[in-house]
Structure 1
Amino acid sequence: MQQPDFSHHFSKELNELFKWRRDVRHFQRQPLPDHLLDDLLQTSILAPSVGLSEPWRFMLVESPKKRSIIRQSFETCNKNALEGYDGEQASNYASLKLAGLDDAPHHVAVFCEKNTKQGQGLGRQTMPATTTWSTVMAIHTFWLAATAAGVGIGWVSILEPNLVAKALEAEDNWEFIAYLCVGYPVAPSSSPELERMGWEKRNPERRQWIRR
């Protein structure tokens, strides 16, 4: 089978896709069309994985009760985080919208089966965390596919992992990796919201490569 000949135009559009992949916090409440979320998740499993282990486990969180538990966990963690800042930094933190839990029509929790038998342990003896990294690759693939379809994703990391896993009745050997809000963004942007809000800016030094 011959690899497709990707055009220069495609390469430029792909670069634009990377620029427009943003962590979305402001969502429209309308659900995605039927089957679109499934199609995007199907694309996510094209991601590479160590030893072809495919350790990712995607869970659609549709229960209002379970969503409420997640929301409460976010409120607790966000309050604790705020107490760790002082003065202007605390004020700036309080002004940030750090989750789209209330408006996003779809919630997706992502877990990693760290010790999955699939892949027969290939590549994991010396670096066992590669199953976790493989799961993150699937999340990134999902994110890019969603962006290309005009769909936004917001990664909520201000949560209690053990509480989330218990609330969602995850398997004992599943590690909680991410809680994603999914839906159409209110106002798409090619720049990070944290940068626009003045919380942080990109570091030019990160564009330089270390050589040894």
Structure 2
Amino acid sequence: MSDPLIAPERARQFTPAERRALYDVINARRDVRNEFLPDPIAPDMLRRVLEAAHAAPSVGFMQPWNFILIRNAARRQAVHAAFAEANAEAQAMFDGEKRNKYAGLKLEGILKSPLNIAVTCDRSRGGKVVLGRTHNRDMDLYSTVCAVQNLWLAARAEGLGVGWVSIFRQEDLRGLLSLPDTVEVVAYLCVGHIDECFTQPELQARGWRHKLSLDDLIMDDHWQSNAPVERDV
């Protein structure tokens, strides 16, 4: 006989309005860089956003994430300096007109946003053998990315913008955040109130890339040779 305390319950059915709201939030999500307002984030709002992140799925229920809330001006200045150094290296990797276009992009809001959040993954959490991670060690990283997505969508629903800054040397962030050897930064996020945002992804609006057609990305049963292949020239 199954334990009634752990038996599944009838699944909640969502109304058309609730479903529409979810899809609206997903489609309204943007990577925000320059539109942050200086207004502080109310503690109860921030808590709701972090609770949403903490509700993300994780393989083996390992919950490998932590959320480092970074408000200190000096620390953020140091993080911005690390970004600027890595960004100069990244710019040099592009050629010709692409390099010029890259130089005109604003790719972070580290100092403009009122809050930075480093989402980390503790790769030792759960012990040496974790259910579901036995054959793919990176499932903890993938689980942490799910927490980032939850955070991002919840923030957008609350009227907050989020920008993911990825142009760092991992070792620079590790030192600035005093991370132990078992912990990696998965996402460095800039968070704050916004009253404006792009109606389409900013990189698309600025002509850096275009959105791929979903129909070109769907395959049946196996990889198909008509998958889109794009290379910058």
Q: TM-score, length-normalised on structure 2?
A: 0.86
Show the 5 A alignment for 1:117-128. 117=126, 121-128=130-137
Letter of the aligned partner of 1:191 in structure 2? Q
3-state SS, counterpart of residue 77 of structure 1: helix
Q: Which residue does 1:24 correspond to in 2?
A: 32
3-state SS, counterpart of residue 88 of structure 2: helix
Please say if residues 53 and 118 of structure 1, whose CA atoms lie closer than 8 Å, have aligned partners that are also in contact.
no
Counterpart among 109, 121, 133 of residue 112 in structure 1: 121
Please say if residues 154 and 182 of structure 1, whose CA atoms lie closer than 8 Å, have aligned partners that are also in contact.
yes
Please say if residues 112 and 177 of structure 1, whose CA atoms lie closer than 8 Å, have aligned partners that are also in contact.
yes
Counterpart among 14, 33, 36 of residue 6 in structure 1: 14
Q: Alignment identity in percent?
A: 33
Q: Which residue does 1:102 correspond to in 2?
A: 111
Letter of the aligned partner of 1:2 in structure 2? R
Counterpart among 142, 148, 154 of residue 157 in structure 2: 148
Please say if residues 76 and 111 of structure 2, whose CA atoms lie closer than 8 Å, have aligned partners that are also in contact.
no
TM-fit CA distance, 1:32: 1.2
Q: TM-score, length-normalised on structure 1?
A: 0.94
The more displaced of 85-94 and 49-58 is 85-94
TM-fit CA distance, 1:191: 1.0
Counterpart among 71, 80, 86 of residue 71 in structure 1: 80
Instruction: Name segments (4+ residues, structure 1) moved above 4 Å.
Output: none
The more displaced of 82-91 and 160-169 is 82-91
CA gap 1:208/1:79 in 2 versus in 1, 3 angstroms: closer
The more displaced of 147-156 and 27-36 is 27-36
Give the number of the structure with larger relative contact order, counting CA–CA contacts within 8 Å between residues 6 or more apart: 1
Please say if residues 53 and 119 of structure 1, whose CA atoms lie closer than 8 Å, have aligned partners that are also in contact.
no
- Structure 1 residue ranges without an equivalent (≥5): none
Within 1, Cα distance between the matches of 2:89 and 2:205?
24
CA gap 1:119/1:142 in 2 versus in 1, 3 angstroms: farther
Find the structure with the greater CA-based Rg.
2
Over aligned residues, Cα RMSD in angstroms? 1.6
Q: Which residue does 1:55 correspond to in 2?
A: 64
- Structure 2 residue ranges without an equivalent (≥5): 1-8, 222-233
TM-fit CA distance, 1:119: 9.7
